Amino acid sequence: MLLPTIEIREIGTQGIAVNDREAITPAEDLVRLTTLIKVDFQLLGKKVVDEARQPLGKVSDYALDPESFFIQRLYVTPPFFRKLTSGQKIISRQQIIEITDKKIIVNDTTVKAPGFFKSPAPAPEA
């Protein structure tokens, strides 16, 4: 079942209010979108790499613009062995270079959430 975003009237803590429940359409009825639907793209869990193809982690969450439904930020959790030295990365939509079925390639100038262990800040020069 698919719902065109234009039919969404409101998004609240208890769910989504739609203009007309008849707008919720079975996927097989949307012939023009068949190829796109068959891709079955899943953003959560998608591998994220930088331009040098170095792994940054996997998408653990994302933020949408409530008006356009465009993705504004990706929250990327590093691989287990990196969690001790770096925290979650926040990647803005402007940093996304390419999205494929298997991975998301980004420009790695991320804002980093604090990790469990963090290197001390360098001392100011005298």
pTM exceeding 0.85? no
Structural domains of the chain, with CATH = 1-40 (no CATH), 41-118 (2.30.30.240)
Residues 57-92: pLDDT tens digits? 999 999 988 888 889 999 999 987 666 667 889 999
DSSP result, 32-68: GGHHHHHH----TT-EEEETT--EEEEEEEEEE-TTT
